[in-house]
Amino acid sequence: MNTAKILHNTAMEFYDLAKIAKAKGKVLAHDDYLQKAYTLDKEAALKMQSGVDDDFWKYVYVRSAGWLAYQCGQFEEAKSLAIIGLSGKPPAIEKAQLQELLSLTGKQLNIKKKASFTSNKNELVISGILASADLDDGKIKIRENGKRKYRVVHVAKDLIQNIVRLYMGEIVRIEASLNEKNLVVLKTIRLAA
């Protein structure tokens, strides 16, 4: 069995563990397993790039690593992997999935770019994974895309349960404002495109 295949298979095992952790509500374990899966799958994909040009698995691995990068919020990496996959002659199904990945990463990068140009100093746009919630205190924690840090967002207590039910573990886009105490307060939340 070649090294790339071993790396890819191990990555898929970590991906399965990430899904199980998410189902159990263990967001930090989910994120950790997902990051490990991405790291291993990226290595497998890059090892395959030096192989035969029309090798089917070369495209499968690069597509797989690209989608894992996307799920980790590493949109630049996902875009780069999609471009690598599309630079060859991928089979039709892989080509379609790589094109979809490229399109979605472009949208995410545009959201990120627009968020950095927010004109009002007290207005914020935050994109990331809804990682945890404190129902009693009315706070949610967002793991910002591509970062290991979390942003605390204050939510009206009458809304927090619905937000947790609908968005926990999902990639979201939040519009918020800073209040007089310099706390980040939720205005709107939706699934990221």
Q: Residue 140's closest CA among 150, 158, 148, 24?
A: 150
pTM, 2 dp = 0.61
pLDDT above 90 as % of the chain: 28
CB atoms near residue 12 (< 10 Å): 16
Q: Is the dihedral of CA 51, 52, 56, 62 positive or negative?
A: positive
- How many Å is the maximal CA-CA distance in the chain? 61
- Lookup result for tokens 């140009």: 117
Tokens encoding 16: 């399965």
Walk me through the domains of the chain, giving residue ranges and CATH numbers: 3-115 (1.25.40), 123-191 (2.40.50.320)
Note the pLDDT tens digit of each residue in 20-59. Answer: 988 888 888 888 899 999 999 999 998 887 766 557 888 9
Residue type for 183, please?
L
Question: How many residues does this entry show for the chain?
Answer: 193
Q: Are 135 and 161 in contact (CB under 8 A)?
A: yes
In the beta sheet, which residues pair with residue 56?
none
Residue 112's pLDDT is what? 63
Mean pLDDT for the chain overall: 85
Is it the case that residue 116 has pLDDT exceeding 60?
Answer: no
Is it the case that residue 117 has pLDDT exceeding 80?
Answer: no
Note the pLDDT tens digit of each residue in 60-110. Answer: 999 999 999 998 888 899 999 999 989 888 899 999 999 999 998 888 777
Residue 35's pLDDT is what? 92
**Range name among 10-19, 127-136, 144-153, 155-164 with the lowest pLDDT average:** 144-153
Residue type for 53, please?
D
Q: Which CA distances in Å does 25 have to 60, 133, 174, 175?
A: 29, 11, 21, 24
Tokens encoding 48: 């395959």
What whole-number distance in Å separates Cα of residue 100 and Cα of residue 129?
A: 21
Band (137; pLDDT cuts 50, 70, 90): confident
Residue 114's pLDDT is what? 60
Residue 119's pLDDT is what? 46
